Amino acid sequence: MSTPYVRRFDSFDRVLHGFLMLSFLGLAATGLPLIFSDQPWARRMTGILGSFEVAGWLHRVCATMLITVFAVHLSRLGRRLIFQRDFGLLWGPRSMVPQPRDLTDAVGHVKWFLGLGARPRFDRYTYWEKFDYWAVFWGMGIIGASGLLLWFPVFFANVVPGWFFNIALLVHGEEALLAVGFIFTMHFFNGHLRPEKFPMDRVIFTGRVSLEELEEERPSEYARLKASGGLAALQVPPPERWLVRLGTVIGTTAVSIGLLLVGFILYAVLT
Amino acid sequence: MRIKHWLAFFSVLFVATLTFVAAKGPTNIPMKAPPAPSRPAVVKAPPEPANDDCLACHGDPDAKSDTGRRIGVDPAKFTESVHGALDLKCVDCHADLKKTTDFPHPSKLAKVNCAGCHQEKVAEYDRSIHAAARRQSAGSVAATCVDCHGTHDIRQKTDPKSLTYPLNLPATCGRCHGDPDVIKQGHIQIGNVSDLYKDSIHGKAVSKSGLMVAANCTSCHGSHDIRKKSDPDSRVFRRNIPNVCGSCHEGIKAQYDNGVHGIANGRGNDKAPVCADCHTAHQIQRADVASWRLDTIRECGTCHADKITTYRDTFHGQVTSLGFVRVAACSDCHGAHDIHGKADPRSTVAPGNIVSTCRKCHPTAGENFAKYDPHADKHDKARNPVLFYAAGFMKWLLLGVFGVFGLHAVLWLPRGFRERRGQAKHS
């Protein structure tokens, strides 16, 4: 008996997330050695790549990739907003925009942690997923902008005074540390490593979630789709075995690299 | 034999006459005319043993004494030596055998006293660390004349076969200073300095390029009066080092003397760096060697601790810390030998020169670009106010986010376990 599945992420967003992962890991691996340049592991990592020039080149290649991902995402949002008049993006249960409900959900969730109440009935995007999204969104803006400033300092010095680069380097590094630290611990925990999901949630690779899981985890969305009759339109066959396996391989690799880098950071910070 | 005897007698007489005749004119012999050769012409009896008398026993290079000690002298080597060329007699040096007529002579002879002729050089030697070490302990292995110059085969230092010929000298000193036993016995702190020197730019210039002008041991340490580096009269005493290096590197010395470090050193400030602090003494490298350039940054940081901290916070400092030198190190902005204070208009980092200094690496940099602070300090509110507040904001942002979500995860974890157990029971 096959379980019925529903689509959660379309293939475009999944591929985009794939590029996001690839470029983010690349940026982290080539950028962290600079922040922790006094660490032996930083020297070894740069040594493996050949030289800091190679690392810098890869960093810029990944940066270009990530900026492209960001631009494509923004243009997709723009298209949905302007051409498809999909204003549900801006407010409501299908929106990423933080809403009062997220605050009550968060409080309710913590109460549930402590056994003081029932689990909140989440909709399509939970408050921690929204935080993930906006953290990355903000990070891309700040890290991207400061990174471009540092990439072309002589050009930007026509517009901003030289001490801006001092700020840019500090912000670029600290913000990167925040992004890397957050994604490789909190995002991994919330999305994959917490007991309910362990070892991982493959939804970002398959794009599909079983109806049962949807009803359990996002009862509000389930109820909403059921009431509007949209559930039938989203029904898809279960993910192919190869796709699940591919997701396992990619996910395990990414989580391993991420946790290794977190280990390096912790070693550097604690010693 | 008798003919040879007479020949020797006449030749000695001839040299003696020449010496007397030429006494007022310039002599091409660089040392004092040996007093001994004139004597046979004056003193009549008893005749001194001639070289051939000695060589009768000692002429076989493999000759050994009763006790098995090597006593052979290679007559050819002696003839080629500087003393051989001067027709010195064996007994001129082995003077206690002068009046011996009864051969074989007693095996225990007095030590040869080089001061008989080389009074000045021996006086210099007496002030050296080698002589001091010998005075201090009887069993000392510290070098005496023969250790560096040889014995019967002594040649002038201009002779390529000489032990003291510039290209041979490092190996000569290395016979002791590269020998672990001597280093141990002599408590030589620096250890195997011979190996260090061999790999240095000076050592390679001598051994690989055969450069006569390259610094060898004596160029810096002197020869006969080598002194401890802690001795203010030593050529390698800290304050004297720039003069020693400057004897070859005159142009650099002129720059150094003009810079803040040279001036401070001239005033007797022992904290001022001298050549060897950055370049080392025996391991001097080409100035474009990466490892040396990186070491020099650390060296600057030993005094300028606050500056190296802020430098390490910048991209320049991060990249050099990773071990790459394509970015600016201290000397790229501040200069090397002729560093001046920022307020000095000659300084490369003076307001009037800063743009051209930045342009060395960033060719199209302008005034605005040069407002970058290569030593920005995020803790210094007065110097970098915006950076100070940006750093504070980032710190609290990181602490806040990780604090809140860390706690969130810690609370979620046990609940998650319970949930999972529940799921398992349910299914």
The separation between the first and the last C-alpha atoms of chain A, rounded to the nearest angstrom, is: 54
Of B323, B368, B394, the CB nearest to A43: B323
Q: Do A163 and B401 touch (CB under 8 A)?
A: no
Q: Can you give the pLDDT at residue B312?
A: 95
User: Cα–Cα–Cα angle for B145, B136, B141, nearest 5°?
Assistant: 45
B77, B56 in Cβ contact below 8 A?
no
Q: What pLDDT, on a 0 to 100 scale, did the predictor assign at position B101?
A: 80
CA distance B332 to chain A (A): 18
Q: Which of B32, B47, B243, B369 is nearest to A152 (CA)?
A: B369
| Number of CB pairs, chain A paired with chain B, less than 8 A apart | 132
Tokens read off for B41: 């012409």
Count of other CB atoms within 10 angstroms of residue B360:
12
Please tell me if residue A37 touches chain B, with a CB cutoff of 8 Å: yes
Give the minimum alpha-carbon distance from B261 to chain A in angstroms, rounded to a whole number. 28
Q: Kindly report the number of other CB atoms within 10 A of residue B426's CB atom.
A: 6
Is pLDDT of A144 > 90? yes
CB contact under 8 A, B408 and A128: yes
Nearest CA in chain A to B407: A110
CA distance A233 to chain B (A): 28
Residue A58, chain B, CB below 8 Å: the answer is: no
pLDDT (mean) for A125-140 = 93
- Other beta carbons within 10 angstroms of residue A271's beta carbon come to 6
CA distance B319 to chain A (A): 7
Q: Which long-range contacts (CB under 8 A, 24 or more apart) does B189-198 make?
A: B190/B282, B193/B282, B194/B170, B196/B282, B196/B283, B197/B170, B197/B282, B197/B283, B198/B170, B198/B174
Question: Do A182 and B405 lie within an 8 Å CB cutoff?
Answer: yes
**Is ipTM strictly over 0.85?**
yes
Q: Can you give the residue ranges of every domain in chain B? A: 1-112, 285-371, 385-427
For chain A, positions 206-265, list CB contacts with chain B under 8 A.
none
Using a CB-CB distance cutoff of 8 angstroms, which residues of chain A are in contact with residue B395?
174
- The answer to whether A44 faces chain B, any CB pair under 8 Å, is no
CA distance A168 to chain B (A): 9
Chain A residue numbers with beta carbons less than 8 Å from the beta carbon of B427 are none
pLDDT of residue B390: 96
**Span A196-245, pLDDT tens digits:** 888 888 999 999 999 989 999 999 999 999 898 888 888 899 999 999 99
pLDDT given for residue B208 in this prediction: 95
CB A221 within 8 A of CB A8: no
Give the alpha-carbon dihedral of A180, A184, A186, A190, to 10 degrees.
Answer: 140
Domain residues of chain A, as ranges?
Answer: 5-270
Instruction: Tell me phi and psi for residue B26, to 5 degrees.
Output: -70, 140
Q: What is the mean pLDDT of residues A87-108?
A: 94
Chain A residues with CB inside 8 Å of B379's CB? none
CA atoms within 13 A on the CB side of B313: 22
The answer, for A167 touching chain B at a CB cutoff of 8 Å, is: yes
Q: Which residues on B lie below 8 Å from A43 (Cβ)? A: 322-323
Q: Do B369 and A38 touch (CB under 8 A)?
A: no
Amino acid at B314: T
Q: Where are the alpha helices (DSSP H) in chain A?
A: 11-35, 40-49, 52-82, 100-113, 127-151, 153-156, 163-181, 188, 203-206, 211-217, 219-228, 231-234, 241-270
Residue A215 structure tokens: 């009803």
Cα distances (angstroms) measured from residue A252 to each of A188, A192, A200, A258, A260: 11, 10, 8, 10, 12
Average pLDDT over residues A50-72: 95
Q: Report the gap between the CA of B355 and the closest CA in chain A (Å).
A: 11
HEC string of B40-109 equals: HHHCCCCCCCCHHHHHHHHCCCCCECCCCCECCCCHHHHHHCHHHHCCCCHHHHCHHHCCCCCCCCCCCC
Q: For residue A257, what are its two tokens?
A: 């690299």
Q: Which residues, at least 6 apart from A116, have a Cβ–Cβ distance to it below 8 Å? A: none
Which uninterrupted H or E stretch holds B269? Answer: none
Does A194 touch chain B if contact means CB atoms closer than 8 Å? yes
Asked whether the predicted pLDDT for residue A116 surpasses 70, the reply is yes
Q: For residues B64 and B62, what is the distance between their CA atoms, to the nearest angstrom?
A: 6
Whether omega for the bond prior to residue B180 falls within 30 degrees of 0, making it cis, is no
Q: What is the pLDDT of residues A6-49, one digit of tens each?
A: 999 999 999 999 999 999 999 999 999 999 999 999 999 999 99
Residue B263 is predicted with a pLDDT of 96
Least Cα distance to A213 among A196, A190, A237 occurs for A196
Q: Among A158, A152, A175, which residue's Cα sits nearest to residue B371?
A: A158
State the CB neighbour count (10 A cutoff) for residue A28: 23
CATH class (in words) of the domain with range A5-270: mainly alpha
Q: What is the dihedral of CA B259, B260, B264, B270, to 10 degrees?
A: -100
Long-range contacts of B3-11 (CB under 8 A, 24+ apart): B4/B52, B5/B50, B5/B52, B8/B50, B8/B51, B8/B52, B9/B40, B11/B87
The amino acid that residue A5 corresponds to is: Y
pLDDT (tens place) for every residue of chain B, 427 residues total: 456 666 666 666 555 555 554 554 444 444 444 444 445 555 555 778 889 889 988 988 888 888 888 889 999 999 999 999 999 999 999 998 888 888 788 888 888 999 999 999 999 999 999 999 999 988 899 999 999 999 999 999 999 999 999 999 999 999 999 999 999 999 999 999 999 999 999 999 999 999 999 999 999 999 999 999 999 999 999 999 999 999 999 999 999 999 999 999 999 999 999 999 999 999 999 998 999 999 999 999 999 999 999 999 999 999 999 999 989 999 999 999 999 999 999 999 999 999 999 999 999 999 999 999 999 999 999 999 999 999 999 999 999 999 999 999 999 999 988 888 877 766 5
